[in-house]
A and B are shown apart, each in its own frame.
Chain A
Amino acid sequence: AQTVTQSQPEMSVQEAETVTLSCTYDTSESDYYLFWYKQPPSRQMILVIRQEAYKQQNATENRFSVNFQKAAKSFSLKISDSQLGDAAMYFCALRGATNKLIFGTGTLLAVQP
């Protein structure tokens, strides 16, 4: 069975600072995708960044980057220069051969002005 674990229920960061959200996963498949989704109070799920497991290079999208450690099955999200609009629930997700997205329990990020 595939599982995704987010061990930080809540995190807080000062505006303009950097924060890292943790995610670990478990899968027996060799080909899979990992995602970070953002869910603001509107509850619209927004794709932040994705990583193909076969790629060694860490994905980057502007202020968002990941640290993908395949052997350790770790997939953390780093948010640089945090902005007030980054405050939201962040979900880590795994997609394997079944095409189903398996979500972690989420991390609620607060950004302090």
Chain B
Amino acid sequence: GAVVSQHPSWVICKSGTSVKIECRSLDFQATTMFWYRQFPKQSLMLMATSNEGSKATYEQGVEKDKFLINHASLTLSTLTVTSAHPEDSSFYICSARDLQGVGAFFGQGTRLTVV
């Protein structure tokens, strides 16, 4: 199956700093990638849809200036958490549509801790 690689798998940063998370499709081209946030023992909440070569589409309630998304190529999307605060601590997961555009394959996730 298609492979999606997410990096880093975990990161600890200080309040006020920015953190970049990368999501790569390793063996296929992904025109669309999705970013989710998951709190402990909860479901995945879609944050935004990342489209190659255009601006991301954010879900209601997600601050686009805080969560910057860039999808500069067909294999890479990045999520930058700007001016991170402890409440931004969470598990972030990306996914990319598969070749047939039917399912979605997920990265390994990134555990962000803001101290």
Interface locus among A14-22, A39-47, A71-79: A39-47
- List, in ascending order, chain B residues with CB within 8 A of A103's CB: 43-44
Assembly CA distance A79 to B96 (angstroms)? 27
Total A-B residue pairs with C-beta atoms closer than 8 Å? 50
- List, in ascending order, chain B residues with CB within 8 A of A100's CB: 34, 46, 49
- Asked if B106 and A44 sit within 8 Å, CB to CB, the answer is yes
Given contacts A100-B49, A101-B46, A106-B43, contact A47 B103 (CB under 8 A): yes
Bitwise, B79-111 to A at CB < 8 A (1) or not (0) is 000000000000101010100011111101100
Q: Which chain B residue shows the least CB distance to A37?
A: B106
> Residue B75 at the A interface, CB < 8 A?
no
Residue in A44, A91, A99, A104 whose beta carbon sits within 8 Å of that of B97 in the complex: A99
Assembly CA distance A103 to B95 (angstroms)? 13
Q: Which chain B residue shows the least CB distance to A52?
A: B102
Bitwise, A80-110 to B at CB < 8 A (1) or not (0) is 0000000000010001000111111110000
Given contacts A91-B43, A91-B44, A105-B42, contact A45 B93 (CB under 8 A): yes
